[in-house]
């Protein structure tokens, strides 16, 4: 059996990893490659997995913890793909608050699994607004520990992928590229718009032509753990019922009301995603910063009386407060849209301190 190419695409919450993976998968599928995708989250009921399946991709999940802490489950998912779908390439998306991937994922795989897996260089996707806040640290409401985590993600990248360039002026793009070149020397770089497909082919070319530098980081795991613990995580799955519900308006109002509540109390959003699915259609929307507008990956073209709605929220806020704000907004929309809302599942927590099964630094 030939080796499977494993492509890991990391990056902070809201960087556009999932949209990037869709574009890469489509490009490779068009060229006759068989593709599998492994998603990852600290919880369950993942918007991204639903989204990827909705566009026709094969997805397996590593839940309830990151790849490095659930290393055996990660390898099991890869092997499951080999048995079920025999993919040529697996695209893997680790949790957006994870770093130290070379020492905890790449090197353990190299030690025991290189006869079956061909590791491709580590790509780190970057949201320009998040990068700008790193460049001018005082402009962010995020605690410094989270900026530390973001910095470390960039330090271990083989390829830094500056995404969403369609939102930047020429001057802004040049300033950010200069900053990255100065602070992360020797790293491959590519500027893309995953939403528009700009330069995605150039990125894919780099993935399959260069080798990983296998840079292991000096990581303060206490600080890393503090950074992850700063973020409140909330996953809610609900069923909403009404008459000819416009799910696009519902999702837009849901995220905008949450964003306004965060603005009022000066909390910082890392990423909030909402996905609605009916028997005949679906929609997905997200917001990646308190200052940013709502964006749709897909709008629905057909109203329906019943929708399942999945919300994944990650923010620099206590989990209970995040839950209270979100449930309060759902109550507000229940009255506004004259809905019945049935709670199917709710998870609310802070991630535990990262405890990777393996960590090889040489």
Which tens digits make up the pLDDT trace of 42-78? 876 678 888 898 888 999 999 888 999 999 999 999 9
Confidence of residue 194 (pLDDT cuts 50, 70, 90): very high
Confidence of residue 198 (pLDDT cuts 50, 70, 90): very high
Q: How far is C-alpha 192 from the geometric centre of its chain's CA atoms?
A: 16
What's the Cα-to-Cα distance from 37 to each of 80, 108, 156, 272, rounded to whole Å?
11, 20, 22, 21
Does pLDDT of 291 surpass 70? yes
Q: What is the mean pLDDT of residues 348-359?
A: 93
Q: Specify whether 250 is located in the same domain as 147.
A: no
Q: Specify whether 144 is located in the same domain as 53.
A: yes
| Tokens 């206590």 sit on residue | 318
Q: Which two tokens stand for residue 115?
A: 């006869």
d(CA 249, CA 52): 22
Q: Who wins on pLDDT, 229 or 332?
A: 332
Does pLDDT of 7 surpass 60? yes
Residue 139: predicted pLDDT: 47
Q: What is the mean pLDDT of residues 221-238?
A: 93
Within 8 A by CB and 6+ apart from 144, the residues are: 137
Does pLDDT of 358 surpass 80? yes
Q: Specify whether 84 is located in the same domain as 202.
A: yes
**Residue 359 covered by a domain:** no
**Residue 241 covered by a domain:** yes
What's the Cα-to-Cα distance from 112 to each of 6, 108, 268, rounded to whole Å?
14, 7, 41
Strands 188-191 and 159-162: parallel
CB count, 10 Å around CB of 229?
Answer: 14
Does pLDDT of 186 surpass 80? yes
Q: Specify whether 222 is located in the same domain as 235.
A: no
Cβ pair 150, 11 in contact under 8 A: no
- Number of domains comprising the chain: 2
Q: Specify whether 207 is located in the same domain as 333.
A: no
Q: Specify whether 283 is located in the same domain as 309.
A: yes
Confidence of residue 214 (pLDDT cuts 50, 70, 90): confident
Domain holding 282: CATH number?
A: 3.30.70
Q: Specify whether 206 is located in the same domain as 93.
A: yes
Q: Specify whether 219 is located in the same domain as 295.
A: no
**Residue 153 covered by a domain:** yes
Of the three residues 177, 195, 227, the one that is the final residue of a domain is 227
Q: Which two tokens stand for residue 9?
A: 């695409």
Of the three residues 227, 253, 283, the one that is the final residue of a domain is 227
pLDDT tens, residue by residue, 20-42: 999 999 999 999 999 999 999 88
Does pLDDT of 1 surpass 60? no
Does pLDDT of 320 surpass 60? yes
**Which of these ranges, 10-24, 68-82, 128-142, has the smallest mean pLDDT?**
128-142
Q: Specify whether 89 is located in the same domain as 207.
A: yes
pLDDT tens, residue by residue, 84-98: 888 999 999 999 999
Of the three residues 171, 201, 227, the one that is the final residue of a domain is 227
Does pLDDT of 330 surpass 70? yes
Q: What is the mean pLDDT of residues 240-244?
A: 97
Q: Specify whether 213 is located in the same domain as 235.
A: no
Residue 42: predicted pLDDT: 80
**Residue 355 covered by a domain:** no
Q: What is the mean pLDDT of residues 327-354?
A: 95
Does pLDDT of 103 surpass 80? yes
Structural domain including 241 reads 231-349
**Residue 104 covered by a domain:** yes
Q: Which two tokens stand for residue 71?
A: 């290393």
**Which of these ranges, 16-20, 41-45, 281-285, has the smallest mean pLDDT?**
41-45
Q: What is the mean pLDDT of residues 132-151?
A: 76
CB count, 10 Å around CB of 23?
Answer: 21
3-state SS, residue 236: strand
What's the Cα-to-Cα distance from 44 to each of 234, 246, 345, rounded to whole Å?
10, 26, 10
Strands 4-11 and 123-126: parallel
For the chain, percent of residues with pLDDT exceeding 70: 97
44: which DSSP letter? S
Residue 48: predicted pLDDT: 86
Does pLDDT of 327 surpass 50? yes
**Residue 356 covered by a domain:** no
Domain holding 162: CATH number?
A: 3.40.50.300
**Among 230, 260, 349, 310, which Cα is nearest to 52's?**
310
**Among 121, 127, 149, which Cα is nearest to 9's?**
121
Residue 121: predicted pLDDT: 97
3-state SS, residue 157: coil
For the chain, percent of residues with pLDDT exceeding 90: 81
Strand partners, 311: 236, 274
| Tokens 């489509």 sit on residue | 26
- The chain-wide mean pLDDT, for the chain, equals 93
Does pLDDT of 137 surpass 90? no
82, burial (CB in 10 Å: exposed 0-12, middle 13-18, buried 19+): middle
d(CA 282, CA 326): 21
d(CA 254, CA 341): 13
């Amino acid at each position: 059996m030939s080796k499977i190419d494993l492509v890991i695409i990391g990056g902070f919450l809201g960087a556009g990893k999932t949209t990037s993976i869709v574009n890469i998968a489509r490009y490779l599928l068009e060229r006759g490659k068989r593709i599998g995708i492994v998603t990852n989250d600290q919880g369950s009921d993942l918007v991204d997995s639903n989204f990827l399946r909705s566009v026709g991709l094969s997805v397996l999940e590593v839940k309830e913890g990151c790849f490095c802490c659930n290393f055996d489950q990660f390898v099991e998912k890869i092997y499951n793909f080999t048995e079920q779908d025999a993919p040529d390439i697996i695209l893997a998306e680790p949790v957006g608050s994870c770093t130290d991937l070379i020492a905890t994922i790449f090197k353990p795989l190299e030690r025991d699994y290189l006869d079956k897996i061909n590791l491709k260089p580590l790509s780190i996707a970057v949201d320009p607004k998040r990068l700008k806040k790193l460049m001018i640290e005082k402009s962010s409401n995020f605690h410094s520990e989270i900026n530390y985590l973001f910095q470390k993600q960039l330090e271990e990248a083989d390829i830094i992928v500056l995404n969403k360039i369609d939102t930047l002026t020429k001057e802004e793009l040049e300033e950010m590229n200069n900053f990255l070149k100065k602070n992360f020397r020797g790293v491959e770089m590519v500027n893309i718009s995953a939403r528009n497909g700009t330069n995605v082919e150039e990125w894919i070319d780099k993935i399959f032509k260069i080798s990983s530098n296998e840079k292991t980081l000096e990581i303060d795991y206490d600080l890393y753990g503090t950074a992850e613990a700063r973020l409140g995580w909330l996953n809610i799955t609900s069923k909403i019922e009404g008459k000819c519900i416009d799910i696009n308006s519902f999702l837009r109002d849901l995220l905008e009301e949450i964003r306004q509540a965060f603005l009022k109390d000066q909390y910082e959003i890392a990423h909030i995603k909402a996905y609605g699915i009916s028997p005949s259609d679906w929609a997905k929307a997200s917001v990646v910063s308190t200052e940013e507008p709502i964006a749709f990956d897909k709008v629905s073209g057909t109203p329906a009386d019943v929708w399942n709605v999945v919300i994944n929220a990650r923010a620099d806020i206590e989990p209970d407060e995040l839950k209270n704000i979100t449930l309060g907004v759902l109550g507000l929309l229940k009255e506004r849209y004259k809905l019945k809302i049935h709670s199917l599942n709710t998870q609310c927590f802070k991630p535990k301190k990262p405890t990777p099964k393996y960590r090889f630094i040489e």
